[in-house]
Structures are given as structure tokens and as C-alpha cells.
């Protein structure tokens, strides 16, 4: 019940295209949903996050869509750039859990010119 | 921008040896964490630490693991009697407050057990 399921495992997108990564969770206690970006040899870095009281959050080219009833959320990267090539992790935590973050399995994104 | 720093960046150790991984969290942060990432797999929570004690730990964090904040700046992870399956990247992380505050991760310590 603590799992966060993520798909696809890998994604190849042309420059300028839209990258879409999907996640699903089961634990209804989760109330904070961050997305992390990880470059090779680096630690995960927070990209964007959402709370379940909103259905969408947009920051620049990055948008999270959140469907509370379906317990699903997704990351959309608009106008994808080669510099966006990285591994993306969706994650979830609950306010009672000292910020223990449960990560998804990761999506390796490659944006080709 | 403030950052979490970790040492060593890479350590090779023999099976059965003790290893200490060190972290300097961001100075005004109050919550500290260790996560690990086995090569090609997801990042897994190990332990959280607040107010000088463990606040939560995962099933991975068994008796061979311990954490300590020996002074006001360092936060360490000790692995006693390392096993081959302990080979992973270990990330230290910190945050100023709980719930919704950004968690900052270090660049990791890559542990190879041979």
C-alpha cells in the first residue's frame, strides 16, 4: 500500500515535444506529491510538487495534473529540450510521516534533437 | 544556494567491514534523512532523524545500520559488517520543517562492497 507506481520506465521524445509520465498510488494518507529530477551521478532535486487540494500546478514548462479520485498524477513537460534528459521520479509523502518520501520507480527521459 | 554535502563520494570496502558515511546538512535544517539507491533502481527511504533521535525507519534499516549527529553540523550513517547487497548510492537529505518543505538531497556516497 506504500508503493507509488510509475510509467513508462523509459521515454524518448523529440525536441519540442511533450513528455508525459504517469504515477499512481494507493495510500490515501499521502497528501504531498513531489516530482524529482535526477541527473547521472547527482542526487534527486525537487522539480515541482502538488497537494491534493488542487488538480493542476504549472511551473514554466512543467505541469502536474492530479486526479484525487483515481489516485493518479502525472508530469507533463512541454516543449521538451535535450537538457531535460534525466531520470524523473514521482513521489509521495504524508504529513504525519516526518516527510518520509516514497519514490516511484523512475522514468529515464531522453530528448533527442 | 545552500547544499547538503556528503563524504566520501565513493568508497570501496571489503565485506564484513564497517563503513561510516558522512553528511553535512544545510545549516538551519531540522530534519535529516538517509536514502539509498541500488544501481538502476528507485530511491528508498532508510531513516529520518529529528531532535536527536530516529523518528522513523524502514525495514531496510536493521541492526547493522545506525545514525548519529555527533555535533551541530555532521550527520553520519554507520553500516556495521557490510554485505554485498549494501552496495548502493547513499543519499543524505535535509529539510527545514516537516510537511511540504523542500527536501534537499546531497550528491550521494557510492558504496561498493567487494
Reported as a single tens digit per residue, the pLDDT across B61-109 is: 999 999 999 887 899 999 999 999 999 999 999 988 766 678 899 999 9
Q: Are strands A10-14 and A107-112 parallel, antiparallel or unpaired?
A: parallel
**Which chain B residue shows the shortest CA-CA distance from A30?**
B99
Q: CB–CB of B108 and A43 under 8 A?
A: yes
Is-contact B69 B53, C-beta < 8 A? no
Say whether residue A45 is in contact with chain B using an 8 A CB cutoff: yes
pLDDT score of B102:
81
Centroid of chain to Cα A79: 17
Q: Which of B35, B9, B12 is nearest to B22 (CA)?
A: B9
CB contact A27 to B (< 8 Å): no
Cα nearest neighbour of A5 on chain B = B42
Q: pLDDT value at position B1?
A: 72
Q: What is the per-residue pLDDT for B32?
A: 94
CB contact under 8 A, A99 and B41: no
For residues A95 and A85, is the Cβ–Cβ distance under 8 A? no
Chain A, 70 to 109: residues with Cβ < 8 Å from chain B are 89, 95, 97-106
Of the candidates B4, B41, B48, the beta carbon closest to that of A99 is on B48
In a mutational test of the A interface, the residue from B5, B55, B105 whose CB has the highest number of chain A CBs within 10 Å is B105
- Subunit contact A99:B42, Cβ cutoff 8 A: no
Rounded to the nearest angstrom, the minimum Cα separation between A40 and chain B is 10
Report the gap between the CA of A15 and the closest CA in chain B (Å).
Answer: 25
Percent of chain A, pLDDT > 90? 79
Q: What is the mean pLDDT of chain A?
A: 93
**In this model, does residue A55 exceed pLDDT 90?**
yes
Return the sign of the alpha-carbon dihedral for residues B88, B95, B62, B72: positive
What is the predicted pLDDT for the residue at A23? Answer: 98
* Residue B100 pLDDT: 64
For residue A53, give Cα distances in angstroms to A50, A67, A94, B7: 8, 10, 14, 39
The beta-carbon neighbor of A89 closest among B42, B100, B101 is B42
B35-51 pLDDT per residue, tens: 999 988 889 999 999 99
Predicted local confidence at residue A61, as pLDDT: 97
Amino acid at each position: 500500500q506504500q508503493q507509488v507506481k510509475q510509467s513508462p520506465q523509459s521515454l524518448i521524445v523529440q525536441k519540442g515535444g511533450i513528455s508525459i509520465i504517469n504515477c499512481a498510488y494507493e495510500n490515501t494518507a499521502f497528501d504531498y506529491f513531489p516530482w524529482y529530477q535526477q541527473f547521472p551521478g547527482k542526487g534527486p532535486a525537487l522539480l515541482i510538487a502538488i497537494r491534493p487540494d488542487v488538480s493542476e500546478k504549472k511551473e514554466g514548462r512543467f505541469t502536474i495534473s492530479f486526479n484525487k479520485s483515481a489516485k493518479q498524477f502525472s508530469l507533463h513537460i512541454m516543449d521538451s529540450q535535450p537538457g531535460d534528459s534525466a531520470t524523473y521520479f514521482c513521489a509521495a509523502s504524508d504529513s504525519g510521516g516526518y516527510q518520509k518520501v516514497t519514490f516511484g520507480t523512475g522514468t529515464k527521459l531522453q530528448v533527442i534533437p | 544556494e545552500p547544499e547538503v554535502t556528503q563524504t566520501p563520494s565513493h568508497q570501496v570496502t571489503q565485506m564484513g567491514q564497517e563503513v561510516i558515511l558522512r553528511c553535512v546538512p544545510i545549516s538551519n535544517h531540522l530534519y535529516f534523512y538517509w536514502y539509498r539507491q541500488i544501481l538502476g533502481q528507485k530511491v528508498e527511504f532508510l531513516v529520518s532523524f529529528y531532535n536527536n533521535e530516529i523518528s522513523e525507519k524502514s525495514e531496510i534499516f536493521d541492526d547493522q545500520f545506525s545514525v548519529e549527529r555527533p555535533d551541530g553540523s555532521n550527520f553520519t550513517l554507520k553500516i556495521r559488517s557490510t554485505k554485498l547487497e549494501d552496495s548502493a548510492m547513499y543519499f543524505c537529505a535535509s529539510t527545514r520543517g516537516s510537511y511540504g518543505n523542500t527536501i534537499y538531497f546531497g550528491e550521494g556516497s557510492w558504496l561498493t562492497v567487494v
